[in-house]
Chains A and B, each alone.
Chain A
Amino acid sequence: MSSNCNICPEWDCQKLEDFKNVWVVGEVDENGITEASLQMLTPASKIASKLNTKIIGVLVGYNVKRFANQFIEYGADEVIVLDDERLSMYSPHVYARAIAELAKDQKPAVIFISATMKGRELGPYVANTLRAGITADCTEFDVDEKTKDVLMIRPPFGAILLAYIKTPTRRPQVGTARPNVFKLPPRDPNRKGKVIEVKIKEIEKPKTRLISRKMLPISEVPIEKAELLVSGGKGLGTIEGFNMLKDLAKTLNAPVAGTRKAVDMGWIPHEKQVGQTGKSVKPILYIGVGLSGAAQHTFGIREAEVVLAINNDPNAPIFNQSDYGVVADFREVLPALIKELSELKNKLKAKGS
């Protein structure tokens, strides 16, 4: 360590100007790079153009090189691939150390990782191994025009405030964002880019071993994929009330989501919770019934195009966050609405056949 570098001895000294490029770490499943990872190319492209640098996709694993082109098609300029048999099984600490090793060598200025459940496990491990700062669950990224630091923007408490966080003295600057906070960039099958294969000397022996995986039943459309989403809150009162909402959903062929209180009541499982500690959804139409519109909840529907709310309290905050609001008791509205929609549905069917 150079003597003019008066920092924590556990950290290595750095020259900030050595660090270039914006990395996007690719999480991979059987079908290739996950949509959540590809979404991170959207903020990467904004930041890379403001920093006048390249977007680099990073693939780490075994038998993953075949997916490199997906990164290019969705907007990466280059792809770095670490394809190694010793990485055939995902183990958080092994993958994290491998990615950190690559980053020590290649010196990216920025690393973006999608905050999927695996990403939230891996991201902070990668960052800390680099002794780098990390900001979780960002909703926007920008660049400080003067210093060229990346601004990581996130809601720190209850989604009421946004904090602008930066890392002025360390690189890389690591940030994560939840799935669906950013849109998938358009795919261009004709885009070309370099794919660079790299090796690292040491890959740790895993201290964790996956022994079984049971896929959860996916007979249902995941709420984050739905274009029409029906969602309920505590105001539905009882499971019978919630079932009324489910009937509406059935009529509409739409999946059901809910607030945290609906989850706490046991009406829906946690993976159907919308909001800051649940999921961000992006339906074209969001129908919220018996929910108050708490900031932590509406945080998850920022990307919804049209919001319809039914609530019997005219002062419920949700009416300020909706396009269309109906001040009424759901017990009166839902049966009538289900009836009208069923009739409409039958008319459409009759026309169709």
Chain B
Amino acid sequence: MRIVVGMKWVPGTTSVRIDPKTGTLIREGVPSIVNPHDMPAVELSLRLKDKYKGEVIAISMAPPPALKGLEYLIGMGVDRGILVSDRAFAGADTLATSYVIAKTIEKINREIGKVDLVIFGQETIDSSTAHIGAQTASWLNWPYIYYVHDAKFVDSKFVVERVLEDAVEEWEVELPAIIATHMKALKPRPVRLINKIRYKVEKPIMTWTNAELKLDPRCIGLKGSPTIVSKTVNVPEVPRKKIVYTPKSGEDAAKWIIETLMKDDKASKVLMKYLSMEGEAQ
């Protein structure tokens, strides 16, 4: 089977700083990484390849530094990478991004070979919209199943397992289809030296610009994006009492906590209610 897997190259730190003057995120000097939530998607694609043969193609719509991310995925065992990169794609919201991705998949389908399955990650850590999977499926009119943590063929039917808040479900899915993984789905395999050598020798990554994709400029970048960010502000703080106590001992702390909570109208009520409950909630 031929599997396409989506990868986003994202700022890697959790301690992102804000420029106090402009109120925007400081991204300079922040090293980028493969979006961690894409790793289970890559791992699932490689497991399917291990089992059923075929090829895995990683795609990323991004500026050229994302080549590094594709290189990493090749190191894990992905067969080839396609960087989809053009200034004309800049400023895209998820609708315009998914359009380019859908058209890339169509081009792979036409020129490289039939795509059976596309796997995305749960969401990206820099925007965490979880839009791209469903939107790409909508452009292609393919079925879509989200929060997948396993996939296999059963009697030549493709079956995926996914989790919801309160249930685990098995779905039969007609291919071609798009699925997106759950972020805790699978532990990714490490990079292997042999794959890195292959990378050096074969150079299995290509770049497609809009000269190759030939998309209408009105459908991509800013023009193809119905949503715009009109402004950003700091997250307003929730007003809290901020009473801080440094106790002399554990007992002192315990006494202070109970006294303090008992003086608080809301806290004392709920505390009494829970303490008088029979049995355990957990």
Q: Is B198 an interface residue (CB 8 A)?
A: no
Q: Which residues on the B side are within 8 Å of A253 (C-beta)?
A: 274-275, 277, 279-282
Q: Is A220 an interface residue (CB 8 A)?
A: yes
CB <8 Å contact, A161 and B233: yes
Q: Is A325 an interface residue (CB 8 A)?
A: yes
Partner-A contacts on B (CB < 8 A): 11, 14, 16, 18, 23-25, 93-95, 98-99, 123, 126-135, 137-139, 141-147, 159, 163-174, 177, 183-184, 216, 218-219, 223-238, 240-247, 249-251, 253-258, 260-261, 264, 266-267, 269-277, 279-282
Which interface residue of B95, B171, B183, B225 has the most chain A CB atoms within 10 A? B95
Bound Cα distance from A134 to B260, whole angstroms: 45
Residues 186-200 of A contacting B (Cβ, < 8 Å): none
Interface string of A240-259 (1 = CB under 8 A from B): 00000010011011111000
A326's partner among B94, B236, B247, B266 (CB-CB below 8 A) is B247
Q: Is A12 an interface residue (CB 8 A)?
A: no
CB <8 Å contact, A332 and B250: yes
CB <8 Å contact, A125 and B144: yes
Chain B min CB distance to A165 (Å): 5
Bound Cα distance from A264 to B130, whole angstroms: 21
CB <8 Å contact, B273 and A227: yes
Q: Which residues on the B side are within 8 Å of A127 (C-beta)?
A: 95, 135
Q: How many residues of A are counted as interface, with CB atoms below 8 angstroms from the partner's CB atoms?
A: 117
Q: Which residues on the B side are within 8 Å of A305 (C-beta)?
A: 266-267
Bound Cα distance from A7 to B270, whole angstroms: 56
Q: Which residues on the A side are within 8 Å of B16 (C-beta)?
A: 157-158, 160
CB <8 Å contact, A9 and B216: yes
Main secondary structure of the interface of B (DSSP, over half): mixed
CB <8 Å contact, B232 and A93: no
Chain A min CB distance to B122 (Å): 9
Bound Cα distance from A111 to B274, whole angstroms: 39
CB-nearest residue of chain A to B182? A270
CB-nearest residue of chain A to B13? A158
Q: Which residues on the B side are within 8 Å of A210 (C-beta)?
A: 169-171
Q: Which residues on the B side are within 8 Å of A226 (C-beta)?
A: 281
7 more A-B residue pairs beyond the given contacts A8-B223, A336-B251, with a C-beta to C-beta distance below 8 A: A127-B135, A137-B129, A164-B232, A165-B228, A167-B227, A250-B280, A284-B266
Interface string of A186-228 (1 = CB under 8 A from B): 0000000000000000000011111111111010111000111
Bound Cα distance from A319 to B281, whole angstroms: 28
Q: Is A52 an interface residue (CB 8 A)?
A: no
CB-nearest residue of chain B to A166? B230
Q: Is A143 an interface residue (CB 8 A)?
A: no
Q: Which residues on the B side are within 8 Å of A123 (C-beta)?
A: 134
A92's partner among B25, B144, B251, B280 (CB-CB below 8 A) is B144
Q: Which residues on the B side are within 8 Å of A335 (C-beta)?
A: 250
B184's partner among A135, A270, A299, A323 (CB-CB below 8 A) is A270
Bound Cα distance from A67 to B257, whole angstroms: 46
CB <8 Å contact, B269 and A255: no
Residues 300-318 of A contacting B (Cβ, < 8 Å): 302, 305-308, 310, 314
| Contacts known (A131-B95, A208-B172); A314 close to B246, Cβ less than 8 A | yes
Q: Which residues on the B side are within 8 Å of A276 (C-beta)?
A: 128
Q: Is A185 an interface residue (CB 8 A)?
A: no
| Contacts known (A164-B229, A337-B254); A221 close to B137, Cβ less than 8 A | no
Chain A min CB distance to B128 (Å): 7
| Contacts known (A9-B218, A208-B143); A125 close to B135, Cβ less than 8 A | yes
CB <8 Å contact, B245 and A165: no
| Contacts known (A165-B227, A252-B275, A327-B245); A208 close to B174, Cβ less than 8 A | yes
CB <8 Å contact, A134 and B235: no
CB <8 Å contact, B14 and A158: yes
Q: Is A129 an interface residue (CB 8 A)?
A: yes
A-B contacts, 20 listed (Cβ < 8 Å): A6-B218, A96-B138, A116-B165, A135-B227, A152-B227, A157-B16, A160-B25, A164-B230, A165-B230, A167-B227, A208-B143, A208-B145, A211-B170, A252-B271, A306-B267, A327-B244, A327-B245, A332-B253, A344-B275, A348-B275
CB <8 Å contact, B254 and A340: yes
Q: Which residues on the B side are within 8 Å of A86 (C-beta)?
A: none
Closest 7 CB pairs of A and B: A133-B226, A332-B250, A133-B227, A8-B219, A124-B134, A336-B254, A128-B138
CB <8 Å contact, B240 and A211: no
Q: Is A10 an interface residue (CB 8 A)?
A: yes
Q: Which residues on the A side are within 8 Å of B233 (C-beta)?
A: 161-162, 164
Chain A min CB distance to B87 (Å): 18
Chain A min CB distance to B167 (Å): 5
Bound Cα distance from A7 to B218, whole angstroms: 6
CB <8 Å contact, A163 and B232: yes
CB <8 Å contact, A295 and B235: yes
CB-nearest residue of chain B to A169? B226
Q: Is A345 an interface residue (CB 8 A)?
A: yes
CB-nearest residue of chain B to A219? B282
Q: Which residues on the B side are within 8 Å of A295 (C-beta)?
A: 235
Bound Cα distance from A322 to B99, whole angstroms: 44
Q: Which residues on the B side are within 8 Å of A334 (C-beta)?
A: 250
Q: Which residues on the A side are within 8 Å of B131 (C-beta)?
A: 124, 128, 134, 136
Bound Cα distance from A294 to B13, whole angstroms: 13
Chain A min CB distance to B31 (Å): 15
